[in-house]
Amino acid sequence: MANKKRQAIFSLALTLALAILAGLYAKNHWAEFKTLLATPIWLGQWVAIFASMLLTLVINSELLRTGVRVMGVPLGFKEGLALAMSTMGANYFIPLKGGAGLRAYYLKARWKMPFTDFIAQLFAISVVALAVGSFLAFWGLWFMAGTEATKPLLGYFGGTFILGLASIMFLGRIPLTDKVPRLAALARGWDVFRANPKVSLWLALLQVAYYLVLALVNRLCFEAFGVSLGWGQALFYSAVQLHSTIINLTPAGLGVVEAFGVLAGQVLNFTPAVALLAQGLYRLSQLTLLILIGLWGWRFLARGKTLNSVTIDGEKA
């Protein structure tokens, strides 16, 4: 309990520190922010952003449904959408991927899904996401005008693609997995997916679709401030955006994702002000979507369900 309290305090302190740094930057470059903010965002742009973001949520829910279905949990469309939405909302209030914990809690309470199965399917989806995202980022960088700054990034995304691909192909065949219980559990989980090649292919196609729609959302957010982003640039930016969420130090990656967006901007040749405003519009749209339909998700999950006295991994939740 004390450790969780320290983590929460650290997360809050880091979020505030990053917010202060962003505020100081905005204060010192207010003229640029004022110029960018003067660009009107038309109704059609808002509709396109919300529609695209809703589509990412639908794809994310289908990834969730596919993962747990392999483990024997027949999650329906509405239930999957509500759970994906609730997870996204919980991430804004609970650091260290708290939304995933909520998801595990619900699946254990509603469907008696073992925590090891939940981790195994989450790991499988994450590995596929790593491989697909890294490949698309590498492809995006490759077709951009080459600079010295892109060379190490090509190496990074090429390496993470190979790592993801190697995990898909060889995890479970390494002797070490039998000696490490947690690794063995992940390997057994992945074996379930590997035994269903159609499901694995479907996961990969869903991840491709997710990245492409996310790239579209980012293009729309940048274009709202008069900055044009090509598809290669958008794929690279989206991959950096999602890779930054691996650093689970703040709720929903607040501040961390923005910092990585600023770094990506140095490669794409747009200023930190542009990156911060585009990411701010992304956050605003996401939160507005949560407010508009998030209540339905919470009520749907809670309706007729008792989530008390749930045991996860041997501990009472």
List the one residue out of 7, 289, 93, 63 whose CA is nearest residue 193.
Answer: 63
| Residue 221 domain flag | yes
Rounded Cα gap, residues 261 and 275, in angstroms: 6
pLDDT at 4: 65
Query: Dihedral, CA atoms, 307, 54, 220, 91, nearest 10 degrees?
Result: 0
pLDDT at 172: 56
CB 240 within 8 A of CB 251: no
Per-position DSSP letters for the chain, written without gaps between them: -HHHHHHHHHHHHHHHHHHHHHHHHHHHTHHHHHHHHTS---HHHHHHHHHHHHHHHHHHHHHHHHHHHHTT----HHHHHHHHHHHHHHHTTSTTTHHHHHHHHHHHHHH---HHHHHHHHHHHHHHHHHHHHHHHHHHHHTSPP-TTHHHHHHHHHHHHHHHHHHHHHTTSSGGGGTSHHHHHHHHHHHHHHT-HHHHHHHHHHHHHHHHHHHHHHHHHHHTTT----HHHHHHHHHHHHHHTTS--SGGGTTHHHHHHHHHHHHHT--HHHHHHHHHHHHHHHHHHHHHHHHHHHHHHHTT----S-EETTEE-
| Residue 21 domain flag | no
Could you tell me the sign of the dihedral formed by the alpha carbons of 227, 231, 232, 235, in that order?
A: positive
| Residue 315 domain flag | no
For 82, what's the count of Cα atoms within 13 Å in the CB-facing half-sphere? 16
Rounded Cα gap, residues 112 and 114, in angstroms: 6
19-47 exposure pattern, b = at least 16 Cβ within 10 A, e = fewer? eeebeeebeeeeeebeebeeeeeeeeeee
| Residue 15 domain flag | no
Q: Provide CB contacts within 8 A for 33, sequence distance 6+.
A: 26, 273, 277
| Residue 288 domain flag | yes
| Residue 13 domain flag | no
Query: Dihedral, CA atoms, 202, 208, 212, 213, nearest 10 degrees?
Result: 30
pLDDT along the chain (317 residues), means of 10: 68 83 89 89 93 95 93 92 88 73 89 88 85 87 68 84 80 57 66 80 92 95 92 89 77 82 86 93 91 83 54 40
CA 250 distance to own-chain centroid: 13
Range of the domain at 168: 39-308
CB 168 within 8 A of CB 131: yes
| Residue 32 domain flag | no
- Full-prediction pTM beyond 0.75? yes
Q: What is the CA radius of gyration of the chain?
A: 20
CB 75 within 8 A of CB 61: no
The count of domains in the chain is 1
CB 218 within 8 A of CB 49: no
| Residue 139 domain flag | yes
pLDDT at 317: 38
